Amino acid sequence: MADDEVLPYRPFKKSEDAPVLYWMAYRHGHRGGYAGTSVVTALLPVFTAATEERLKELATELGYGLHRDAGT
């Protein structure tokens, strides 16, 4: 169980005009930082689903809370 950790979630599309491909719950994390490159903030997927409703069901099953990312 995730002890009620709340994850942001949002739909992912190929472009603004495209339909939703999938929904992703994620954490913010860091990637990069080798051979002189900078460390960048990245979205780290926790789980995905084909529909928003299924994503919410999975979150409940796994013990996570969700909140819709304000940027979407």
Tell me the per-residue pLDDT of 20-65, one tens digit each, with 9 for 90 and over: 999 999 998 887 777 777 888 888 999 999 999 999 999 999 999 9
pTM: 0.79
pLDDT band at 3; cut points 50, 70, 90: low
Strand order in the sheet with 22-32: 39-49, 22-32, 6-12, 65-68
In this prediction, residue 22 carries a pLDDT of: 96
Domain definitions of the chain by residue range = 1-13+20-57
